[in-house]
A and B are shown apart, each in its own frame.
Chain A
Amino acid sequence: MRYLPHSDHERAEMLGVIGATHIDELFSAVPSSALNSFDLGLPAHSPEFLVEAHMKALAGQNHAGADGPFFVGAGAYRHHVPATVDHLIQRSEFLTAYTPYQPEISQGTLQMLFEFQTQVAKLTGMDVANASLYDGSTGTAEAVLMARRLTKRNKIVLSGGLHPHYRDVVKAYLKDDADLECLSASPEGQGDILDHIDEQTAAIVVQTPDFYGHLRNIKKAADAAHAKGALLIVVITEVVSLGLLEAPGALGADIVVAEGQSIGNALNFGGPYLGLLATRKEFIRQMPGRICGETVDAEGQRGFVLTLSTREQHIRREKATSNICTNSGLCALAFSIHMALLGEAGFTRLARLNHANACKLADALAAVPGVEVLNKTFFNEMTIRTSKPAAALIEALAKRGILGGVPVSRLEPTDASVNNLIVLAATELTTETDIAALCAALTEELA
């Protein structure tokens, strides 16, 4: 067993120092009926090459993104991650460090988190950001709870363009809550959440680009919310869009939540991802999650520590602002390195490239008989209506080696009106050959 350092001789010697003759004596507090009372029936330990073969066999049964044309988005996006990012996050000192509880010997992680918070604040146009949450969906639920604490009101309105998974997570967090209003899906981009704001509203939640790809008027939503004393929570699932679109903070958002996976992090079948959360400085003490702050050491040198922990569960216990006990440190590191490599120039260029490819995709799709592109506006993602049911169509494309997007019915199974809708995304990795292959396959399948 290559990970266990002791020889049997050393084990015996150590037991001798302890004053025991058998390891079971150290488990004497365990009721005898429960100690070693079973045969696990699990395989025995295995050499590295056999484990590797087993895992490769499992991986080989999946169709990877690079295996063919790929247009799947809807909250997770396939972008290129520079080799430098993955190399650096595998540095032992980053990868195998724990939460920076001892700041004097954790300055690498802490300075990185401070830089990450700065990047997120600049991207979103907000005053402050935390050091990451689990992901965008749980971050949205936390933002909703934060808005309730801030306004001391209860009503929450979720727009029909919010990612259905995010809506479902908020529903699970606020189980059976009569003050949660979920507007129905708005694939055409027509739904108007602004009519639902009243004096009891704590916050409205608006996603842009929304689940169907439409860009939303944040300024108008902010003004309407503020007029009734409510807050505006802006949700972003494709953070690359911020390279081209105006920052929500500049348009009046009060809390911005984003999924940060697009920058530095692979698709990973859904996780680990990272939640970005940014807000106004007067709301800091109601912001959930970890925060890193600047300070000085005993000699006056600049240094960083985790701070404002009096909001947290390890101090406030049942009075804590949330039960969150961790952040996505390593994913935040990957995000921060990739963002530093891009810089303003590279990030803007990346966003333009994504939008340009999406424009090409939209134009090509619009020319396919039996396909209607629903979006007038989009960043890198759009919704099409097809003349045949979408789920079967996506399966048929998959058999041809093309991952052609997400049938909306997979996320909204009870709404028959979305049965013929597909959400598709293009990124910088989408080629003209990919687009041509998709359109040719669609033309044949829809004929």
Chain B
Amino acid sequence: MSMNNQGRPTGTGTSGFASTSGSSLLPNEPLLFEIGDTEHSGVDLPDAEISNDRLGGFERKMPLDLAGLTEPEAMRHYVRLSRLNHSIDSGMYPLGSCTMKHNPRLNEKMARLPGFADIHPLQPVSTVQGALKLMNELSHWLMTLTNTSAVALTPKAGAHGELLGMMAIKAAQEAAGQAHRTIVLVPESAHGTNPATAAFLGYSVKSIPARADGTVDVQAVKDALSPEVAAIMLTNPNTCGLFEPQVIEIAKAVHDAGAFFYCDGANFNAIMGVVRPGDLGIDAMHINLHKTFSTPHGGGGPGAGPVVLSAALAPFAPVPFVRKGADGLELVEHNEGEALGRITAFQGQMGMYVRALTYMLSHGGDGLAQAAQDAVLNANYIKARLGHVFSVPFPDYPTMHEALFDDSFLAGTGVTTLDFAKALIDEGFHPMTMYFPLVVHGAMLIEPTESESKQTLDRFCDVMEELALDAKAGNATRFTAAPLYAPRRRLDETRAARSPILKWERPVETLKAAE
């Protein structure tokens, strides 16, 4: 065992129990394959006699070599792993554009009711009327909050929702004899999924530059419009945290040119209950349930990205969807007319629908509006408290749900934006989003959300200010060496990409010994 430069013990980091770092609170947990055994099992199952198997000679001949853990071993392994994560329940997580808000446990409890969790997507529709009512009720809330005509619930994530929304636009234009529209306009501040989605559907992407104030210029859009343009994909509020002030004029110009307005609704949490996107002229917009309606993201997903649609696009919604029938609600599972078909097996992320509706009912229409206002209040409070230390690239408008700074305050300090973020880890905060949006050099995008208290925001601002002053005072090593107090020091990402190790292999010595 060695010591790091802070005098804290570190393990050898290879494998086995010996490599615990010396701190019971910061375990250096071996891989499950290093502690498990193919004969260990944490599940008791009865023996099964099979006198006449029907496997047709296709049975497995090679062992799986899959390690098992008994129940107590599994509890320790995963509890110890969990302690190596930062989470919204353990501290502030101001990851801009990713929106980490409190995840109420009532949502989890409701999603686990057997009437929701233990129902099969293909059991008779007469036996799942409550589930269809829930989908109907969620749809009503989403359409009411956005003032739109239809909603497609099934997309499995925001990016999947974008794909569906753009598919609907493509289908509508083909149905109208407008298949020659092959260009999609995407502002350069857009999420990377926007151009990826347009390209995936065979569109060519034309970039719209941002104005000096961080918003999209209606004249730039007008100049880019032509009879070949199918749609614009605009994020509003945008990724600089700004509400597009000319959004209604942009929508009108796009519609006048015969194109559609796809709105990336990733940031709907800033305006829910306060502004209805339908009133702005959007034709399609996905809503990330995990961001806006508090469904947990669980270290990467599941997401859920329902898409609201204007009347013009409603006929192109994919199956399945719920509608009123003669004997209660029915599930439309096959194309009628111009519908798009199916973009996922089954009914989408039902477990997320339950959580989102639970959150909506808890807040009510009044509470959702208050939550949006508090999210905006919190972001502006951070901007006001830190604006004198950090550089604000777009000071002309109030920020919406997130405060955007750039790294010009670090010029000449020898500290990079990345270093600054890593130093924030040592102070107990998850770093903000860095280097995004791309329109700002060294962007630092901070999104507190509505669930942070004033006390937490004050402590965060105090720490940010102190770090900025320390960087300017020339104390660069605090930043370049960071993080010192995380489960790992800085990780070598280049090495991981150059020589990928993507699964555990049994060490060669062990294999030899077994021979």
Question: Quick check: is B315 within 8 A (CB to CB) of the other chain?
Answer: no
- For B215-249 the 0/1 string (1 means CB < 8 A from A) is 00000000000000000000000000011110110
**A/B interface sample: 27 pairs, CB < 8 A:** A1-B363, A4-B451, A26-B380, A42-B145, A59-B115, A59-B130, A62-B116, A76-B122, A94-B78, A102-B421, A105-B430, A134-B157, A266-B351, A268-B111, A268-B351, A291-B500, A295-B495, A297-B13, A307-B497, A307-B500, A325-B158, A326-B158, A343-B37, A343-B38, A345-B41, A349-B48, A355-B50
Interchain CB contact (< 8 A) of B49 among A301, A309, A356: A356
Which B residues, 1 to 36, have Cβ-Cβ distances below 8 Å to chain A? Answer: 2, 4, 10-15, 28-29, 31-33, 36
Residues of B within 8 A of A107 (CB): 81, 84-85, 487-488
- For B368-390 the 0/1 string (1 means CB < 8 A from A) is 11110110111011011100000
CB of A295 within 8 A of CB of B496, answer yes
CB of B274 within 8 A of CB of A103, answer no
Interchain CB contact (< 8 A) of A122 among B65, B134, B348: B65
Write the nearest CB–CB distance from B508 to chain A, whole angstroms: 16
Residues of B within 8 A of A442 (CB): none
Stretch at the interface among A191-199, A315-323, A432-440: A315-323
- For A253-297 the 0/1 string (1 means CB < 8 A from B) is 000000100000011111111100000000010000011111111
Rounded to whole angstroms, the CA-CA distance of A111 and B425 in the bound complex is 19
The range of chain A's interface size is 35 or more
Question: Quick check: is A40 within 8 A (CB to CB) of the other chain?
Answer: yes
Question: Quick check: is B464 within 8 A (CB to CB) of the other chain?
Answer: no
Question: Quick check: is B407 within 8 A (CB to CB) of the other chain?
Answer: no
Stretch at the interface among B93-101, B306-314, B408-416, B466-474: B93-101
Rounded to whole angstroms, the CA-CA distance of A217 and B78 in the bound complex is 38
Question: Quick check: is A75 within 8 A (CB to CB) of the other chain?
Answer: yes
Number of residue pairs across A and B with beta carbons under 8 Å? 726
Residues of A within 8 A of B113 (CB): 55-56, 59
Residues of A within 8 A of B45 (CB): 346, 349-350, 353, 428
Rounded to whole angstroms, the CA-CA distance of A26 and B195 in the bound complex is 30
Residues of A within 8 A of B39 (CB): 343-345
Residues of A within 8 A of B395 (CB): none
CB of B90 within 8 A of CB of A40, answer no
Question: Quick check: is A51 within 8 A (CB to CB) of the other chain?
Answer: yes
Known pairs A19-B384, A326-B300, A349-B45; A355 contacts B53 (CB<8 A): yes
Known pairs A5-B453, A165-B346, A301-B28; A376 contacts B128 (CB<8 A): no
Write the nearest CB–CB distance from A39 to chain B, whole angstroms: 9
Which A residues, 410 to 431, have Cβ-Cβ distances below 8 Å to chain B? Answer: 410-411, 413, 428
Rounded to whole angstroms, the CA-CA distance of A26 and B271 in the bound complex is 11
CB of A91 within 8 A of CB of B36, answer no
Which B residues, 315 to 374, have Cβ-Cβ distances below 8 Å to chain A? Answer: 318, 333-334, 340-352, 354, 357-358, 360-371, 373-374
Residues of B within 8 A of A52 (CB): 106, 109-110
Question: Quick check: is B187 within 8 A (CB to CB) of the other chain?
Answer: no
Residues of B within 8 A of A135 (CB): 156, 344-345
